[in-house]
Amino acid sequence: MKRKLLMILSGLFFFCGLSVFLYPTVQTAAFRQAEKSVIRRFEEYRAEEQKEPGQAVDTPENSLNPDSTPPTEPPKAFPALWEACVRYNTLLPETQGSSLTAQGMRVPALDLAEYGWEQEVFACLSIPSADIETPLYLGADSTNLNRGGAILGQTSMPIGGESTNSVIAGHRTWNAILHPFVSLEKVEVGDLVYVTNPWETLTYCVIATDTISPNDLEQIRIKPGKDLLSIITCTYPNTRRVLVTCERINEKEDNP
């Protein structure tokens, strides 16, 4: 009887230990599957809305910098949202110097619902070389960081254009889950990065990788005349930040 009881207890301990060992793997798989579902819904919603013809947007009239070139041609859908994004990006170079703070980065640049966008996700990030694919939310608060990539407030909306730098942050790991950004250190100069927003897919090329201090804001500020994308995550241990800097290029994939 004792022997049988010992065997049962040994089996229970084994399965408990196995469950603890497998928990991170199972949780990570569930998280990645949830991200794929969110991306699929974003793509379906975007494709459906693009079928509907939209009114043209007079971006030069709303631009406060007449010398700048509009980032792309007028969109087919959500013209009011497009106009708001262009206006925000145009104003930002003048205000970012004092507004790029920890609190400011948590606040979304725009309230998407005000412009008829019915998704919480504004864009999707893809880095094939590092097997990274994740939805992007506006505002780097804890909720958004826990469920994907976050576009920092007081950085450019990811629609491209001169004097823009859209900064994306994401967890490396959280609550035993391996987030996609755990692979960011694999990214190398020359790799391609894609950002799909409500209107088009933008193509970027990695021009620099670095490890910086968490307080080094100069590295993620707008650079005059440049069309940039910056991607950051924490190192292991969590003392510094991995920074990948990308510059927009013209590619065949860079189409609506």
Distance from chain centroid for Cα 160: 14
Residue 1 has pLDDT above 90, yes or no: no
Long-range CB contact pairs, 3-10, < 8 A, 24+ = none
Rounded to 5°, the CA angle 84-157-57 comes to: 35
| 93-136 residue pLDDT tens | 999 988 899 999 999 999 999 999 999 999 999 999 999 999 99
> What is the helix (H) or strand (E) element at residue 247, kind and residue range?
strand 241-248
| More reliable by pLDDT, 30 or 196 | 196
The confidence band for 71, taking pLDDT boundaries of 50, 70 and 90, is low
**Cα separation values, 55 from 1, 47, 160, Å:** 81, 17, 21
- Taking only the tens place, the pLDDT of each residue in 209-246 is 999 999 999 999 999 999 999 999 999 888 999 999 99
Predicted local distance difference test score (pLDDT) of residue 82: 96
Mean pLDDT of 178-206: 95
Best CA proximity match to 149, nearest among 157, 158, 162, 140:
140
pLDDT for the residue 92: 97
pLDDT reported for residue 20 = 37
Predicted pLDDT of residue 54: 45
| Helix, strand, coil abundance in the chain, percent, nearest 5 | 40, 25, 35
Q: What are the angstrom distances between the C-alpha of 33 and each of 21, 169, 197, 218?
A: 20, 20, 21, 35
**Where are the domains positioned within the chain?**
23-248
Residue 5 pLDDT grade (very low, low, confident, very high; cuts 50, 70, 90): very low
φ/ψ of 102, rounded to 5, equals -60, -45
Superfamily of domain 23-248 in the CATH hierarchy: Sortase (2.40.260.10)
CA distance 45 to 137: 16
pLDDT score at 64: 37
Measure the CA–CA gap between 236 and 185, rounded to whole angstroms: 11
